[in-house]
Amino acid sequence: MPPSHPFDDDKLKEECGVFGVIGVADAANFVALGMHALQHRGQEAGGIVAHDPAFGFSSARRFGYVRDNFTKASLMETLPGALSIGHVRYSTAGSKGNTQIRDVQPFFGEFSMGGAAIAHNGNITNADALRKELIGRGSIFQSSSDSECIIHLMARSLQTNIPERMKDALRRVEGAFSVVAMTRTKLIGVRDPMGVRPLVLGRLGQGWVLSSETCGLDIIGAEFVREVAPGEMVVISEKEGVQSFHPFERAQPRFCIFEHVYFSRPDSILGGRSVYETRRQIGVELAKESPVEADLVCPVPDSGTPAAIGFSQQSGIPFAMGIVRNQYMGRTFIEPTEQIRNMGVRLKLNVNRALIKDKRVILVDDSVVRGTTSRKIKEMILDAGAAEVHFRIASPPTAWPCFYGVDTPQRDKLLAATMSEEEMRDHLAVDSLKFISLDGLYRAVGETKGRNAACPQYCDACFSGEYPVAPRDMIAKGFELKAAE
């Protein structure tokens, strides 16, 4: 397993990406490519399950990058068949550094009607309660993952086929889930009733594809068909094509708004909107809300770049790459010694001194979580001779943890949970600090009237503290929800 990167701990992390293919020869090879396109959603481990009528089910699970594992012919030849699913993983805060190979998805189970594998993106907020119940009834868990609950719930269902057993299982589950699963003959995709996490359907020749994002379709030349709807289950077979079911009670959709801000790749399409264009528009709104006199608009690469472009276009202040990212500073770099750690972000980012010297600089970043990286970047800019440093943040203050599939620090570790905007400015020691408003963010994603406070159009709990599904397990551990206003 590659060492945890010492300079990436100040960003929120999406925990998983899922991908599946049916009806295409050597499907696992296409799944590996799709996983590579979704690598930004999870870099710690990946797994593939495939099925071939002659050889049955086969699987491979590995720590590290897709490119380092699933590009080897000797491995991919062990995954034959025209049906395959895959998963890329980033461990949660509680298990980071303790990941075991048994925790790597997809999970596989053998049922009376045949085997099934399942890959899950999201987080089950009642997993502790379910696990306790299932263990009490005789289930034996092999991993620490909340996703394994689904397999055990399926095993205890009395339904006569696997899709129906999956419906039974997922009706017991609370929280967020986008699931890609497979039987011997079917590829299955499901989204939770609120559609918190993304899942799309594509066509590849005579075959079909499921992916967390459209960028996964692009890499294999698949045609985007549509998004899997919130609360929908699609069951795909080579003979019957795509069948659609709605096994859950309908709910108000609450897609994760942070997918637009940071998680999804900028070349993906979400809800019919270009992620890149949305992020550029966030910069436009930010410039309208929080203008400042300056000489340069510089992104904190790479996630701040589209918003910085929008800020520059709206403000008329020149855009410049004042910070350059070392593209070869990956997670498999040398084991960091204390001396290396003390070099801070300089191993990953370097200031373009010729541009920065004596300039008033606006730095545009996607978020401030703990604030540790922001302080280091500010120091680098000042060391390069900048006259002023102004931070503009392309999301509202992150003041609440996410329980729906995002690795978030505990609330007392979030800078915005303990400080006002002015206190954060003083803490970071910058000339000014401004976040986009929640209404401004909603306008940027296409809601022209801003946020509907009575019935928000997105899940924005990390900003607002309003959780669309109560995190039952965390409440049982003492987590206090936001008091009603």
Q: What is the pLDDT of residues 256-302, one digit of tens each?
A: 999 999 999 999 999 999 999 999 999 999 999 999 999 999 999 88
- Closest C-alpha among 462, 443, 363, 325 to residue 404: 462
* CA geometry: angle 253, 255, 258, nearest 5 deg: 160
Distant-in-sequence, close-in-space partners of 375: CB < 8 Å, separation ≥ 6: 427, 428, 429
Per-residue confidence (pLDDT) for residue 409, from 0 to 100: 81
For 221-247, the pLDDT digits (tens) are: 999 999 999 999 999 999 999 999 999
Per-residue confidence (pLDDT) for residue 11, from 0 to 100: 66
Say whether 459 is catalytic. no
Per-residue confidence (pLDDT) for residue 335, from 0 to 100: 45
Per-residue confidence (pLDDT) for residue 422, from 0 to 100: 96
Question: What average pLDDT score do residues 171-194 get?
Answer: 97
Query: In whole angstroms, how far apart are CA 276 and each of 92, 262, 442?
Result: 27, 10, 15
Residue with tokens 């689904």: 150
68 Rama class: left (phi>0) / alpha (psi -120 to 50) / beta? alpha
Q: How far apart are CA 435 and CA 455, in angstroms?
A: 23
Using the CB atoms, write b or e for 229-262: b if 16+ within 10 Å.
Answer: ebbbbbbbbbeeeeeeeebbeeeebbbbbbbbbb
Residue with tokens 């069951």: 235
Per-residue confidence (pLDDT) for residue 406, from 0 to 100: 85
Question: What average pLDDT score do residues 374-384 get?
Answer: 92
pLDDT > 80? residue 72: yes
Question: What average pLDDT score do residues 300-321 get?
Answer: 96
pLDDT > 50? residue 172: yes
Instruction: List the structure tokens of 353.
Output: 């001194």
For 133-170, the pLDDT digits (tens) are: 999 999 999 999 999 999 999 999 999 999 999 999 99
pLDDT > 60? residue 182: yes
pLDDT > 90? residue 342: no
162 or 343, greater pLDDT? 162
Question: What average pLDDT score do residues 320-337 get?
Answer: 66
Per-residue confidence (pLDDT) for residue 407, from 0 to 100: 80
Q: How far apart are CA 258 and CA 462, in angstroms?
A: 9
pLDDT > 80? residue 4: no
Using the CB atoms, write b or e for 395-406: b if 16+ within 10 Å.
Answer: bbbbbbbbbbbb
Q: How far apart are CA 155 and CA 163, in angstroms?
A: 12
Question: What average pLDDT score do residues 437-457 get?
Answer: 96
Q: How far apart are CA 444 and CA 428, in angstroms?
A: 27
**Domain ranges within the chain, ordered by starting residue:** 13-256, 277-467
Question: What average pLDDT score do residues 78-95 get?
Answer: 83
Question: What average pLDDT score do residues 322-327 get?
Answer: 85
- Per the omega criterion (within 30 degrees of 0), is the bond before 106 cis? yes
Q: How far apart are CA 435 and CA 205, in angstroms?
A: 45
Per-residue confidence (pLDDT) for residue 379, from 0 to 100: 92
Question: What average pLDDT score do residues 456-477 get?
Answer: 96
Dihedral sign, Cα of residue 291, residue 292, residue 293, residue 296: negative
Average pLDDT, the chain: 91
Return the minimum-mean-pLDDT range out of 9-13, 177-181, 198-202, 446-450: 9-13
Q: How confident is the model at residue 444 (pLDDT cuts 50, 70, 90)?
A: very high
State which amino acid sits at residue 50. A
State which amino acid sits at residue 479. F
Dihedral sign, Cα of residue 38, residue 39, residue 43, residue 48: positive
Q: How confident is the model at residue 315 (pLDDT cuts 50, 70, 90)?
A: very high
Q: How confident is the model at residue 96 (pLDDT cuts 50, 70, 90)?
A: very low
Per DSSP, the residues of 403-425 read: -SSEE---GGG-HHHH--HHHHH
Per-residue confidence (pLDDT) for residue 303, from 0 to 100: 86
Q: How far apart are CA 129 and CA 321, in angstroms?
A: 49
pLDDT > 50? residue 333: no
Residue with tokens 């034959």: 80
Per-residue confidence (pLDDT) for residue 84, from 0 to 100: 98
Q: Which of 16, 149, 215, 462 is catalytic?
A: 16
Q: Which fold has domain 13-256?
A: Glutamine Phosphoribosylpyrophosphate, subunit 1, domain 1 (3.60.20)
Listed as own residue / partner, the contacts of 476-485 with beta carbons closer than 8 Å and 24 or more positions apart are 476/128, 476/129, 482/400
Q: What percent of the chain has pLDDT over 90?
A: 84
264 or 15, greater pLDDT? 264
Dihedral sign, Cα of residue 472, residue 370, residue 195, residue 38: negative
Residue with tokens 């009575």: 454
Question: What average pLDDT score do residues 330-345 get?
Answer: 50
Per-residue confidence (pLDDT) for residue 202, from 0 to 100: 98
State which amino acid sits at residue 93. A
340 or 253, greater pLDDT? 253
Query: In whole angstroms, how far apart are CA 305 and each of 149, 319, 362, 420?
Result: 39, 10, 12, 26
Per-residue confidence (pLDDT) for residue 14, from 0 to 100: 60
Question: What average pLDDT score do residues 1-13 get?
Answer: 48
Q: How far apart are CA 156 and CA 159, in angstroms?
A: 9
Per-residue confidence (pLDDT) for residue 372, from 0 to 100: 85
C-alpha 191 chain-centroid distance: 15
Compute the residue count for the chain: 485
Burial class (CB in 10 A: 0-12, 13-18, 19+), 31: buried
pLDDT > 70? residue 123: yes
Q: How far apart are CA 287 and CA 430, in angstroms?
A: 18
Question: What average pLDDT score do residues 454-465 get?
Answer: 96
Question: What average pLDDT score do residues 177-183 get?
Answer: 97
- Per the omega criterion (within 30 degrees of 0), is the bond before 52 cis? no
Instruction: List the structure tokens of 8.
Output: 């990436």
Question: What average pLDDT score do residues 365-369 get?
Answer: 93
- CATH 3.40.50.300 given to domain 277-467: no
Per-residue confidence (pLDDT) for residue 440, from 0 to 100: 98
